[in-house]
Structure 1
């Protein structure tokens, strides 16, 4: 009988390790090809290599200095735009020795409230201010004042606030067709709602499934809060491409990237960039098949999407009627018209919600438990949220859905009639995104609209603009359409005249291989927010 002997066990072991690594990398490469396609993979590899070269050169004395000077120049431009000394206005850099009078304090606040900015009160801003009207504003302000000293961390001290918060959650769960088993918590906003949902599924994966390296799978159009959550928790995140025409997530690609460590897949209703609803039914089926979580991000869709059918628009089922849904995020401070700082994250059952909580029984300060990231929280915004929801009622929200989505449709139709523009994706809610045909530069259109007093949001990958219609947009739709036509005509007449401004920023961000350069500029922007 023939025998097989290894003459050099050490070399054989090394060969086996190398073969394993090569196999793993080859499998990873094939997986990327199957999900993203050859063009995207080549672009990714080019950016990775070129970005590495640039980062290496930045460490070189001469080249690095040049790059840093350009970064510093960009940040200085941001500072010059944002940090403006107001003649006669004092700067408060230390606490005053003597108390200021009420009149003095209120005078300073009024002056700063009225400092020049975009005219949001007359609807010239995309999203940002989700105004429910002057009457509702007065009511929510009064509710806020009534509960300004309350803290949900102390339910024994503020039992009425505990009931108010529980009712807010229950009303939103009901809006999203949740059963008696469904539940949730309030949070400070959509980002925290998303982070909490990710945490719940990650902890579930570790404790219930024994996973050491859980990961989540999201569309490339999913909110950046999922990336923030992945970074905070040190977990893997895979971004799945979307269909170029519809901008909905590619379900086949999603199937290919789910693995044994995946704890959560995500769909949006609707996406922030393009106002598109992903194929939530297919995602629900996918989650059931793989026995994993499925989160619907309806922070932007909030109180719009649940009323679409009743308002006479095509229905998008984005709630607990889909059997695979395990969590949903909904911002009450957007189309619920509550003050900023309120959102609700919902779960299909209490056990999953428990994975969101933090508890510690061994702290010398006593048994500590909190539902979300914060310990102490502002009870005033919760009370004002309750006031907004009960004042609006379902009839009020239905009427606003008709008006707001109707304004989006009117703007979309106008865009479709401008030959130089085209709508990106298939919008379903309050948002419409649009891009331009050459030679019209879409960021030039953005700057021309700014010159006319509008503040729309720039998008990238692909380059586009979007407007999130609000209650304030409705009366100024015709003005926007007029100014949009004029802006396009101006850029078309001088296509080479828009190399600076928005094009300089977003054109650079879309093409530079080393994303850390853009990130440094973004960090400089945030630093500017805290510069007096």
Structure 2
């Protein structure tokens, strides 16, 4: 057996003596770069796994080859023609042609009567899609009833010009915002915690990413932050990471339970990890991650755990009182596990008041376990020429009317109102889920969603679930298409309650139509088919999405 032969120490010493300091520094720098990148590669592969890392590398190589092929003039011309056609189709759907346009300020101001008449004309000329009251929606409008609208409008009228940036001018708005945060903290079992209001779930999540980035930099000296996010977590986490320059490790979920893979989360944690994310419930399929297990990992490694309850909002905290937290319904087992600040390791929670809280759109709350952590969310510039500048979140000026409307909505509903709406909405969702499971053999429900969202996919490759979604669209339903796996979901609201039987009947008819006469040209089929067509499919879908965003601002 051969032994390891070490170099003679005298030779090594003589070698080092003959090198200049410059050469030694170059060698040290080279070794540092190699070692640093080796550790980065190791952490990356450990988090993603060898199989996923190889697959991603192969996909990247294929993508580069295809992008190179797309530079061939004839191919490039053909692709551009198809993209232009897609852009025109999007504009045709979003931008009406035969309507009056107001592209410049009128020479003279218009009367209130003219303005209201013009609004009514736009609503009628834009077609039935503008009428959300027909209730064939997945989420989108979380309507608390006409009486609730009256309450919100009254609050808007009273505080229309208010701005919490000036608490000395609008002290009532400051008081209401603090009370909204306090009510939410108590609802999530952390009366001594801290938080702020934001413009919505996305801002709440982006603020959480910013908070943990700054906390980890100050407390732990982390300069290359990383966060661990379930594949089913909201896209706002990726958005926040892009804004805050934080590396994201997407962790797969169990295909049956739809909960994040805890073993993969554990493996992904390293010295640069600042944050782990869990959903209660997630947006795509409405299932809840194992928050208790995630909390144990977060506490053990002294990292943050943010629980995204934006969609669970005013549903999950009332499930237990509504008698819906643990039991069987229609043959299915529904069980909600701990998710709030009572769980060890949970350090922040986001909750959308403008969803099942029925507050006006543009309101959410980000909550922290303590005020010390919240300070890392603030932005303070003490030596600005205009004076000391300090803001709690992204916005400077904020609409106090939204805060007043949220405060009014929460007081109007009260705990009893939210308990009632929770029971009705969740019962509606479970009726849909149980019917799919027991009466539509071609479909299956993803996981065991405990709250308001039900996602369903096709059991067979012979039935394209997005074809079913397009067939539902022809029947007036606005549902959400999903990928990974291909599925469609509905988020039930109070507006859904009177139409649950219509939804079930339409779904059965749509399944039959998709099986017997597939159209193949619907929005869901075309868009999601394009995304999975090749390695550059997502890039093409991204280009189409950009056309959509451009069309939003085409007057």
Q: Does 1:245 align with 2:268?
A: no
Greater shift in the superposed pair: 113-122 or 454-463: 113-122
1:98-497 to structure 2, matched below 5 A, reads 98-114=108-124, 115-118=126-129, 119-180=131-192, 182-314=193-325, 315-416=336-437, 417-436=439-458, 437-495=460-518, 497=519
Q: How far is the alpha carbon of 1:322 from its aligned partner?
A: 0.9
User: 1:498 aligns to what?
Assistant: 520
1:170-195 CA-partner distances (Å, limit 9, x unpaired):
00111000132x01000000000001
Q: How far is the alpha carbon of 1:28 from its aligned partner?
A: 5.3
| Contact 1:460-1:510 at 8 Å conserved across structures | no
Q: For the structure 1 residues 263 and 27, does the alpha-carbon distance in structure 2 shift closer, same or farther, using more than 3 Å as the test? A: closer
Q: For the structure 1 residues 154 and 444, does the alpha-carbon distance in structure 2 shift closer, same or farther, using more than 3 Å as the test? A: same
Q: How far is the alpha carbon of 1:21 from its aligned partner?
A: 8.1
Unmatched 5+ residue regions in structure 2? 1-5, 326-335
Q: For the structure 1 residues 330 and 26, does the alpha-carbon distance in structure 2 shift closer, same or farther, using more than 3 Å as the test? A: closer
User: 2:42 aligns to what?
Assistant: 27
Name the larger-Rg structure. 2
User: 2:333 aligns to what?
Assistant: none
Name the CA distance, whole Å, in 2 between partners of 1:55 and 1:356: 40
Q: How far is the alpha carbon of 1:98 from its aligned partner?
A: 1.4
Secondary structure of the corresponding residue to residue 294 of structure 1: strand
Q: Kindly tell me the number of residue pairs found equivalent between the two proteins.
A: 525
Name the CA distance, whole Å, in 2 between partners of 1:487 and 1:372: 45
Q: How far is the alpha carbon of 1:316 from its aligned partner?
A: 3.2
1:29-73 CA-partner distances (Å, limit 9, x unpaired):
7525xx4563x4454233211111122233444433332332222
Name the CA distance, whole Å, in 2 between partners of 1:356 and 1:504: 41
Name the CA distance, whole Å, in 2 between partners of 1:394 and 1:18: 58
User: 2:332 aligns to what?
Assistant: none
Unmatched 5+ residue regions in structure 1? none
Q: How far is the alpha carbon of 1:501 from its aligned partner?
A: 3.6
Q: TM-score, normalised by structure 2?
A: 0.90
Q: TM-score, normalised by structure 1?
A: 0.94
Greater shift in the superposed pair: 390-399 or 20-29: 20-29
Name the CA distance, whole Å, in 1 between partners of 2:521 and 2:122: 33
Name the CA distance, whole Å, in 2 between partners of 1:27 and 1:353: 33
Name the CA distance, whole Å, in 2 between partners of 1:386 and 1:255: 40
Greater shift in the superposed pair: 137-146 or 43-52: 43-52
User: 2:107 aligns to what?
Assistant: 97
Q: For the structure 1 residues 363 and 30, does the alpha-carbon distance in structure 2 shift closer, same or farther, using more than 3 Å as the test? A: closer
Name the CA distance, whole Å, in 1 between partners of 2:247 and 2:33: 24
Q: For the structure 1 residues 517 and 239, does the alpha-carbon distance in structure 2 shift closer, same or farther, using more than 3 Å as the test? A: same
User: 1:507 aligns to what?
Assistant: 529
| Contact 2:530-2:540 at 8 Å conserved across structures | no
Q: For the structure 1 residues 19 and 132, does the alpha-carbon distance in structure 2 shift closer, same or farther, using more than 3 Å as the test? A: closer
Name the CA distance, whole Å, in 1 between partners of 2:365 and 2:44: 39
Secondary structure of the corresponding residue to residue 455 of structure 1: coil
